[in-house]
Structure 1
Amino acid sequence: MTRKSVGIIGGGASGIGVARQLKQAGIDFEIIEATSKLGGNWQPAGPASKMYESAHLISSKKNTQFTDHPMPQDYPAYPRHSLFFRYLTELAEANDLQEHTRFDTRVREMTPDRGGWHLVFDDGSTADYDVVVLCNGLLGRPITPKIAEAVTCESIHAVEYKSATTFAGKRVLVVGGGNSGCDIAVDATKTADAVFHSTRRGYHYMPKFIDGRPTQEWLMDESSKFKDAASYWEHVETTFKMAGFRGEDFGLPAPDHPIEACHPIMNSQILFHIGHGDIDPKPDIEEIERDTVTFADGTKERVDLIVWATGYRVDISFLDRKIYDWDSKLPETFLRMVPAEFDNLLFVGYLNSPSGIGNLVNTMARFVASYVIGRQQGSEAFRVVRQIAQAHERLDLGQGRFMQTDRHRHEVDLWKFLRSVNFVTAKLASERHATQDNRLAEPTRLRA
């Protein structure tokens, strides 16, 4: 059996980005994709899809695209999901990635073998790789709270939601204050008889446009005008309040956290519909008895359908936790990619950041290519990376800035993360070039 250098598990945006960089670096690889297409969550249908009819990007085109392969000029500032899926497909085709992919192949088991990894697939076939890069993402397994077991009315998780026709003529409760929960609550106003939206706390809401520009782009441009973070965020909050995006002004509870401590809720319509009475905001659920929901404020509502927009958990169940306890150790990996226990295993895309995917993946993918080459050559920089990973040193990637919740355990500060990864990648790459030029690279401590 031929053993390839790298196996990439997952053909979504992260897997596509890693594959592009490996190909450019001349490293042989294979993508293992459980479905019939590349594109991951952005597929419009199928077992991997998380898409609903109204879904659009919440990061702007400029901040989401791979800068070395821009989105078409005629794409709007926030492309709908089908356009972004088309873009990912074209990105893959431009690099002939389909030719390097095992489609409709789900990994059943993954075990260390002869310095690499032995993979067993659902159809019984197998493959071996020197290095495995896991790219199947954070949205592996839907989370439904235990209280859902008491429901006798119709009940679905957000992953099952596809269009507003689901809500026609019904009294609908959407549970969850994230971006999907807000999107679905807005959708429900189109066809439902009544819409209730239950959230556990107060949130900071951001419009998708401010001052005629996509908000993320405005935020980045404004940041350069301030000498300290406190003044900048005070300016941002004041601007959003003037634009009508302060939840307290619509009767919602004040957030219990600063605006920079939470993954942004980017939605221009949720407060509009609350202000018009189309959405009735509710606090956390206290009790469910058949089709009647009691909320923490004592109010009760009869509902016909509950949508649980309550998030997801990572699912790497094909890798036995006795081999690597991914559930607990993922947030502790060096650069959120490099585990201490294995030098032939990498994780890409298991993080959140208030940014688009393109440049983030490009940055991680360049690191992966340099890391794999460093491992192949046994370079000094690679050995130092391994020493740091094995020392379990928690590099400051801005984790302390964010709320300590399950939703934010994978959050990183964008700029700190990019600086750190780029620094280490540059060390790996510079030593590689020096070695190729037959010059001895000086040993160096990698500290961002």
Structure 2
Amino acid sequence: MHDTPDPGDRGDAVCVVGAGASGLAAIKNLRELGFAVDCYERETSVGGAWNWRHDRSPVYAGTHLISSRPLTEFPDFPMPDTWPDYPHHRQVLDYLERYAKHFRLGDDIWFGMEVSSVEPAGDGRWDVTIRSTGGESSRVQRYAAVVVANGHNWSPLTPSIPGEFTGEVMHAGAYKDPARLRGRKVLVVGGGNTGCDIAVEAAQQATRVWHSTRRGYWYAPKYLFGRPADQVNDRLLRWRVPLRLRQWLYRRVLRLTTGDLTRYGLPEPDHRPYESHPVVNSQLPYYLGHGRIEPVPDVARYDGAGVVLTDGSRIEPDLVITATGYRPRFDFLAPELLEADEDGRPDLHLHAFARRHPTLAVIGLLQPDAGLFPLAHWQSVAVARWLRLRATDPARAAAVQQKESARPLESWSRRRVVPSQRHWFEVDHVAYLRAVEGLLSEMEGVR
């Protein structure tokens, strides 16, 4: 482990921003293709969002994976067979630490170092300004390429709710311990996986729990036919079952398992199955059925000690938890480098490759219907091979880039999703991996 990076031009080395799961995969796969790598991590250890010790981690005490173990592990570093189907967050962190140790990734990570800016330096190279989080002066280093893996679940998206509330309001990112819910009246705002999980925890600790959602969602159980639900979906995708048939099967299975949740007061979904990020929670129907969670509509405004809902009703919680997601942030990059629109949404090929800057890529900017780690692995493999191809055969690289730029969005991204920020990066993992496989084949000259 080094204390401070060497100043100046790093030649053909690649800069990786972040040492979470995606950053670790990027370091490993870049090194395997012969690249020198400098990874800058603002924290003092690996793990990113899964390291609950980090200030920016959204992980709380009861967090488990919502994707099953076989569909979450890296393809070249399996999780132990003795682990449960849905490992606890401490196991996931242990897994990432062992991954880093096994591949000796720590040799290339500068801990306590933050990237403050990344600017084009001409000829595809980049000037990267780094500074110590301890407050030391910054320095600039030049790299042949930059791979961004700073995550997109650390900057809370806080709803703008008019009025004043005399109780406590917190974003789900600040929620860590269920003891904070004990004996209180709690309103959870947000119908995603985090909102549902916290509502379930509140049902076990609080005296009263309201769960506010803007729209209806499809709530899937964690197990179907004795197997984790994502494994069943994975099989259907690999069999290439048409979307309409999968949607019919989804509705049928839910009717036979969780039943019609609108009878508890939840709004009816305004979209079809697979048109939103999957909400996987087996316990929500249980606590709805026992009256421990009370569904309520969206929040209209705060009113002193109360909260007024869009149907005109008023409730008086002690604590409001807004599980309203996160927004992607790349403060060290000018928005035009990622062709971000006015809302901050980047336009990247395969949600990874900057369209006008061939030596700039982002790893892990995905919302898949299974685990992220395998997709981050293959993304980083594709990025590493792309950078190697540019160095060894520029003419072929240009031809591949031209062909890939014509690939329709529908070939690797979901065709129809709920129009919200939460669904910016939605992908079906099988279709996405096929698209990455196609890119790899193009670069290898197979097709």
Using structure 2 for the length normalisation, give the TM-score.
0.91
Q: Quick check: 401-410 or 37-46, which moved more?
A: 401-410
Aligned 8 A contact 1:197 1:281 in 2: yes
Aligned 8 A contact 1:340 1:389 in 2: no
Distance 1:225 1:103, change over 3 A: closer
* Residue 195 (1) aligns with residue 195 (2): no
* Residue 359 (1) aligns with residue 374 (2): yes
Partner of 2:126: 117
* Residue 139 (1) aligns with residue 139 (2): no
Aligned 8 A contact 1:339 1:389 in 2: no
Residue type at the aligned position of 1:283:
P
CA distance in 2, matches of 1:17, 1:293: 45
Partner of 1:25: 33
Corresponding residue SS for 1:189: helix
Which of 249, 271, 277 does residue 285 from structure 2 map onto? 271
Moved over 6 A (4+): 389-393
Q: Quick check: 243-252 or 232-241, which moved more?
A: 243-252
Q: Could you list the per-position Cα deviations for residues 306-325 of structure 1 after superposition, in whole angstroms to 9, with x for gaps in the alignment?
A: 11101111111111335554
Which of 154, 157, 161 does residue 171 from structure 2 map onto? 157
CA distance in 2, matches of 1:238, 1:391: 38
Partner of 1:36: 44
Corresponding residue SS for 2:331: coil
Distance 1:230 1:399, change over 3 A: closer
Partner of 2:230: 216
Residue type at the aligned position of 2:328:
V
Partner of 2:267: 253
Partner of 1:381: 396
* Residue 400 (1) aligns with residue 408 (2): no
Partner of 1:11: 19
1:272 offset after TM fit, Å? 0.9
Q: Which residues of 2 match residues 47-446 of structure 1 at below 5 A?
A: 47-115=55-123, 116-123=125-132, 124-147=138-161, 150-222=164-236, 228-321=242-335, 324-326=338-340, 331-388=346-403, 394=409, 396-430=411-445
Corresponding residue SS for 2:65: coil
Distance 1:318 1:246, change over 3 A: same
Q: Could you list the per-position Cα deviations for residues 127-181 of structure 1 after superposition, in whole angstroms to 9, with x for gaps in the alignment?
A: 2211001111222411111116633311111110001111122111110001001
* Runs of 5+ unmatched residues, structure 2: 1-7, 133-137
Distance 1:121 1:180, change over 3 A: same
CA distance in 2, matches of 1:234, 1:56: 29
Distance 1:380 1:102, change over 3 A: same
CA distance in 2, matches of 1:284, 1:315: 26
Distance 1:87 1:381, change over 3 A: same
Distance 1:106 1:245, change over 3 A: farther
CA distance in 2, matches of 1:196, 1:148: 19
CA distance in 2, matches of 1:52, 1:414: 26
CA distance in 1, matches of 2:157, 2:168: 17
Aligned 8 A contact 1:202 1:247 in 2: no
Residue type at the aligned position of 1:337:
A
Residue type at the aligned position of 1:172:
V
Aligned 8 A contact 1:205 1:246 in 2: no
Q: Could you list the per-position Cα deviations for residues 302-355 of structure 1 after superposition, in whole angstroms to 9, with x for gaps in the alignment?
A: 111111101111111111335554455754322221222212111111121101
Q: Could you list the per-position Cα deviations for residues 185-216 of structure 1 after superposition, in whole angstroms to 9, with x for gaps in the alignment?
A: 11112221111110001110011111211111
Residue type at the aligned position of 2:416:
R
CA distance in 1, matches of 2:346, 2:430: 18
Corresponding residue SS for 1:121: strand
Partner of 2:135: none
Partner of 2:4: none
1:245 offset after TM fit, Å? 4.7
Aligned 8 A contact 2:265 2:296 in 1: no
Residue type at the aligned position of 2:159:
P
Q: Quick check: 86-95 or 404-413, which moved more?
A: 404-413
1:11 offset after TM fit, Å? 0.9
CA distance in 2, matches of 1:430, 1:323: 29
Corresponding residue SS for 1:219: helix
Distance 1:114 1:383, change over 3 A: same
Corresponding residue SS for 1:307: strand
Aligned 8 A contact 1:332 1:392 in 2: no
CA distance in 2, matches of 1:389, 1:226: 23
Residue type at the aligned position of 2:300:
E
1:250 offset after TM fit, Å? 2.8
Q: Could you list the per-position Cα deviations for residues 272-291 of structure 1 after superposition, in whole angstroms to 9, with x for gaps in the alignment?
A: 11110111111111221122
Corresponding residue SS for 1:293: strand
Q: Quick check: 259-268 or 319-328, which moved more?
A: 319-328
CA distance in 1, matches of 2:239, 2:120: 51
Partner of 1:441: none
* Runs of 5+ unmatched residues, structure 1: 432-443
How many pairs align? 432
